[in-house]
Amino acid sequence: DAGITQSPRHKVTETGTPVTLRCHQTENHRYMYWYRQDPGHGLRLIHYSYGVKDTDKGEVSDGYSVSRSKTEDFLLTLESATSSQTSVYFCAISESPGTGTDTQYFGPGTRLTVL
């Protein structure tokens, strides 16, 4: 299994509070992704990174920011959490998205509840 960890694994917070989720990889892969997964929806891309300090928005980026100061760490921040951000968050990594032989590998997920 690819070496990807996420922390925390579970978090309950209140509306309006800031929240930071961490993704850590030991594979030295260039690309890192943050997705959210909700019932009835496919995985939806929030933000992704294609290198240190290089990030871009995904489909559902509003209300989220990211940072990548080291190859191995990709942080997702909810500046002011809302109930609509209650979800399961997955981090994924890949060497290159350009070829199918290099698939995305997923971390174990973080279950976030915003009350």
Q: Tell me if 44 contacts another protein by CB under 8 A.
A: yes
CA angle 1, 106, 90 (to 5 degrees): 145
8 Å CB contact between 100 and 108: no
Q: Which two tokens stand for residue 82?
A: 């809302």
Largest CA distance in the chain: 42
Burial of 77 (0-12, 13-18, 19+ CB in 10 A): middle
Contacting residue, 3, 20, 43, 67, with another protein by CB under 8 A: 43
Q: Tell me if 42 contacts another protein by CB under 8 A.
A: yes
The span of 20-28, 62-70, 75-83, 98-106 binding another protein (CB under 8 A) equals 98-106
Nearer to another protein, 42 or 62 (CB): 42
Least distance from another protein to the Cβ atom of residue 85, Å: 19
Cα 99 to Cα 81: distance, rounded to the nearest angstrom = 36
Q: Tell me if 97 contacts another protein by CB under 8 A.
A: yes
Interaction with another protein in 47-76: which residues (CB under 8 A)?
Answer: 48, 58
Contact set with another protein (CB under 8 A): 40-45, 48, 58, 90, 97-98, 100-101, 103-109
